[in-house]
Amino acid sequence: MWVVDPKCVGVYEAPVPPHNVKGVRMRRIVVGGLISLALVLSSCKTDPALPETWEKRITGTKSTKEKVKAVEDLRAHHMSDAMVPMLEKRLEEEKKPDVKMAIARVLGEAKKPSSIDALVNSIEPAATDSDAKTMNKEIAVALGRIADPRAAPALIKLLKTKDNYTVIAAIEALGDMKTPEAFDALYFIGTDDAIEPFITKKAIVALGDMGDPRAVPGLVRAMFKERKGISFYMESSFALYQLGKPSADLLVPVVEGKDKELADWAAKNNVKDVALLAKGVQVLGDLHDRRAEKTIVSYLNFKSEFDDIKLIMRMRAADALGRMRSKEGVKPLAALLDEEEPNARKEYVWSLARIGGKDAVGKLVETAGKGDWLAREESMRGVAMLGDDASAFDKFAAAEQKLFEAECKENPEGDGCTDVPGTVKKHQEKILTYKNRAVAAGECKTDATCWVKHLDSKDEGTRERAAYEIGRSGNAALIDELIKRLPEKNLDTRLAIIQGADWLIDDSKDAMAQARKSLPALEKQVADERGKTEFVKVNEDLRRLLTKLQRG
C-alpha cells in the first residue's frame, strides 16, 4: 500500500506482510519492513521550508499540470525568500511556458532584484502561440512589481510585440519604474494617432506616473483628441495634474488665449476654441493655480450665440474658481444666480459654497423664490451652506405651495404637477432638512473646532458644511479629523471632506506632514474602491489628493 508522510511532499512504498505468514517468519518480515521504513524516513528531506523539497517536486514529474500545481502550492503555503534562488534557477531551466508563467508570477510577488536576469532571459520576443504570449505578459507584470530600472531595456523591446496584453503590461511596468530611459517610447505611444486607443490611454497614464515634464505638450493636446469616438481627456487631465506646475506653466497662456501654436494646432485638428479654454480652466482649477484667476473670473460672463456653449464655459469657470477659493469670484458668481437653468445655478451655488462667499447669501435668499423647483432648491442649498439664519427655511417652506402651484399652472406637464399637494409636502420636508446646517452655523460661526463635532452629524448636509468650514479655516491641527473620514459614503459629503483636506494641505506644511502619515490607509482605500461605480466621479478628487500627498 501507499503510505504518505505528513512532512513529506512525496510518497514512499512500505512492504505489507502476507496474511498467511505466521510466527517468527511474520515477525521477521514486519521488523525488516520497519527498519526499511526508518531508513527511508531518515534519508528523505521533506521539510516544506526547504527549497530542495519543492525543487524535487517540480522536477520530479513530467506533467506540466503537476509542475504548475507544485508552484501554486508553494506560492499559497510555503513561499519565503529562501525559495527565490531555486525558483530563479527553475525559471531558466524549465521549457513549458505555463510553468515559467507560474514561476514568474511568484517571483514578481517576491519583488527581489536578483530575479531580473532570470525573468528577462525567459522572455520570448518573437512569441506567436498564446501560451508564450501569456508568459511574456506575466514576466512583464513581474518586472513591473520588482520595479528595477535594469529591466527597462527588455520592457521597452516588449512594447514592439504584436500582443496587446503584453504591450499593456510592459507600459504599466515602465510607468511604475519611472525610469527616464522609457520616456521616448511611451511618449511615442501616447501621442501617435495610429495606435490602438486603449493602448494610447495606458501610455498616457504611464507618462503621468513617471512625472517627466517633457510629457506636458503631448498630454495637453491629448486632452482635446478623440479617436473612434474615444476621448483621452480623463487620462490626460489627471496625468497633467500629476505633473503639477509644469502643466500649469503651459496651460496659463492657453487659458489666457496667448498660446498661438496650440491655437493653430487646434484649428487644423477641428478643436473648438471653447474646448481649449474650458478644459484648460478645469485643470488649473484642479491644481489651484491662480495665475489666470482674473481671466477665469471674466469667463463667468462668457458670451456665445449658443446657450449650451455659453453655460458650459461659465460652469467650468465657476467650478475652477470654487476649487481655488477665489474671493474675486464671489460678486460675479452672485450676479449669475438669477440663471433659471438648474444645473448651471447648481454649479454657481457650489462654487460660492466652496469659496465661503457669505456676501452672496442675500442674493441666494432672493433667488430661492425664482425659477422652477430644481433651481429654487439650489439657491436654498446655498443658503444652507453659507447662512446662519434658521428661520429663513421656515419662510421658504411656507412660500413653497404658492410657488409650486404657479409653476404647475405654467407647465402642467412638469414633475410632480399631477399631485400638487403631495409634491408640495415633499418639497417642504426637503427644505426643512436644510435648516439643520443653518442651526449648526448659528452655533459655530467660524469656529473650526466647534465644527469638528458636526462631522459626525446624522444629517449628511451638516457634515458637508462642516468639512468645508474646517477646510477653509487654515487650522492644520484638524487635518486628521478630515483624513480619517475620507471613507464617507455620501458623495457630496465625501467631496467636501476631500476638498477641505486638500485646502488644509495647501495652506500648511504641518498639515501635509501629518496627512502623509495616513498614506498607507488612503492608498488602500483608493485600491479597494477602484471600479466601484458609486464612487467613480468623487474618487477622481480622492486620487488627486493621494497624488498630492505622495508628492509631498
453-469 pLDDT, tens digit per residue, is: 999 999 999 999 999 99
Residue 13: phi and psi, rounded to 5, are: -105, 120
Query: d(Cα 46, Cα 4) in Å, to the nearest integer?
Result: 11
Q: pLDDT band at residue 534, thresholds of 50, 70 and 90?
A: confident
List b or e across 454-465, with b for residues whose CB sees 16 or more CB atoms inside 10 angstroms. bbebebbbbbbb
Cβ neighbours of 72 (radius 10 Å): 13
| Poorest-pLDDT segment among 314-318, 493-497, 522-526, 536-540 | 536-540
Averaged pLDDT for residues 348-364: 97
Bridge pairing between strands 230-231 and 226-227: antiparallel
User: 3-state class of 3 per DSSP?
Assistant: strand
Could you please report the per-residue DSSP string of 429-459? HHHHHHHHHHHHHHHHTT-HHHHHGGGG-SS
Could you please report the per-residue DSSP string of 359-375? GGHHHHHHHTTSSSHHH
pTM score of the predicted model:
0.86
| Poorest-pLDDT segment among 23-27, 204-208, 352-356, 477-481 | 23-27
Q: Out of 3.40.50.700, 3.30.1360.120, 2.60.40.2380, 1.25.10.10, which CATH number does the structure's domain 292-445 have?
A: 1.25.10.10
Query: d(Cα 169, Cα 141) in Å, to the nearest integer?
Result: 6
Q: pLDDT band at residue 39, thresholds of 50, 70 and 90?
A: very low
Contact 143, 182 (CB under 8 A): no
Cell of residue 144, nine digits:
513591473
Q: pLDDT band at residue 220, thresholds of 50, 70 and 90?
A: very high
Q: Report the candidate in 274, 253, 273 with the shortest Cα–Cα distance to residue 316.
A: 274
Domain ranges in the chain are 2-46, 292-445, 448-551
Residue 79: phi and psi, rounded to 5, are: -65, 135
Contact 491, 504 (CB under 8 A): no
Percent of the chain with pLDDT over 70: 92
The widest CA-to-CA distance across the chain, in whole angstroms, is 113
Distance of CA 552 to the CA centre of its chain: 18
pLDDT at 359: 97
- Polymer length of the chain: 552
Percent of the chain with pLDDT over 90: 88
| Poorest-pLDDT segment among 224-228, 341-345, 456-460 | 224-228
Please list the alpha-helical segments (H only) found in 211-306. Answer: 216-222, 233-243, 245-255, 260-268, 273-287, 293-298
Q: Which residue has the cell 486607443?
A: 197
Residue 15 has pLDDT above 50, yes or no: no
Contacts by residues 200-204 (CB-CB < 8 Å, ≥ 24 positions apart)? 200/227, 200/232, 201/230, 201/232, 201/235, 202/168, 202/171, 202/172, 203/171, 204/232, 204/235, 204/236, 204/239
Query: d(Cα 249, Cα 254) in Å, to the nearest integer?
Result: 9
For the chain, what is the total number of helices (H) and then of strands (E)?
Answer: 31, 4
pLDDT at 228: 85
Residue 542 has pLDDT above 60, yes or no: yes
Q: pLDDT band at residue 472, thresholds of 50, 70 and 90?
A: very high
| Poorest-pLDDT segment among 19-33, 47-61, 93-107, 376-390 | 19-33
pLDDT at 46: 77
74-111 residue pLDDT tens: 999 999 999 999 999 999 999 999 999 999 999 999 99
- According to DSSP, residue 299 is labeled G
What number of CA atoms fall less than 13 Å from residue 367's CA on the CB side? 27
DSSP run (H or E) holding 423: helix 420-444
Averaged pLDDT for residues 26-50: 55
Query: d(Cα 98, Cα 233) in Å, to the nearest integer?
Result: 38
Averaged pLDDT for residues 264-280: 94
Query: d(Cα 370, Cα 404) in Å, to the nearest integer?
Result: 11
DSSP run (H or E) holding 12: strand 12-13
Q: pLDDT band at residue 552, thresholds of 50, 70 and 90?
A: confident
257 Ramachandran zone, left/alpha/beta (phi>0; psi -120 to 50): left
Cell of residue 35, nine digits:
527498519
Give bridge partners of residue 231 from the DSSP assignment.
Answer: 226
Query: d(Cα 254, Cα 277) in Å, to the nearest integer?
Result: 7
- According to DSSP, residue 82 is labeled G
Q: Report the candidate in 368, 377, 382 with the shortest Cα–Cα distance to residue 437.
A: 382
pLDDT at 40: 42
For the chain, the average pLDDT equals: 92
Bridge pairing between strands 2-3 and 12-13: antiparallel
Query: d(Cα 380, Cα 346) in Å, to the nearest integer?
Result: 10
- According to DSSP, residue 77 is labeled I
Cell of residue 274, nine digits:
471653447
Q: pLDDT band at residue 13, thresholds of 50, 70 and 90?
A: very low
Averaged pLDDT for residues 393-400: 97
Q: pLDDT band at residue 537, thresholds of 50, 70 and 90?
A: confident
